[in-house]
Structure 1
Amino acid sequence: MLHLAGKKAQAKGYLKDDGSFVVLKGSTFCAEETKSCQGFLKERRAELLSLKQVVNGKFTQDVEFNSPSSAAGCILGACFSKWQS
């Protein structure tokens, strides 16, 4: 189990054997994006909101991402390349 804590977000998830990462239901999501937030992250964040996978700043279900860094970038609304267990 991995944890991510930012100024406006707290998330938990786990790494799958194929290298993908699952963010758990109930994790929180920062509504604001930084200038460093890349286009693909902005698109994924918009998708999460439109599919109602994130509502009122919370994940409504477990959501799979390609990598831990893409999950963190989506959660924080910022470019994120460092992670540790």
Structure 2
Amino acid sequence: MPRAALGGSGLDAAPAEIVPLPKVRFSDPDPWGQISYENALSARRAISYLLDRPLAELSQEDRAFIGDLVGRTLNKAEIEAAIKQRFRREQ
């Protein structure tokens, strides 16, 4: 390998042409994640995680509420808000 290649002397490099990149706005508020759960089972799993307990330990009324909620929507934000409102914890 020639010494000039390592030292950089004698190289006539053309200046780089700067090309502006196009700006693209995402219509999705979370472009790398998902706004909705894939299915009812994954929504119930997430609800169980939010409550930090198995859904089988809940009362019949609470399980019916969760069933209606998951049947109505799979939107993560809506489900989280409804669960937090229904199962408000004193911290």
Report the TM range for the smaller structure's normalisation.
Answer: 0.3 to 0.5
Q: Which has the larger radius of gyration?
A: 2
Question: TM-score normalised to the size of structure 1?
Answer: 0.32
The structure carrying a bigger helix percent of its residues is 2
The structure carrying a bigger strand percent of its residues is 1
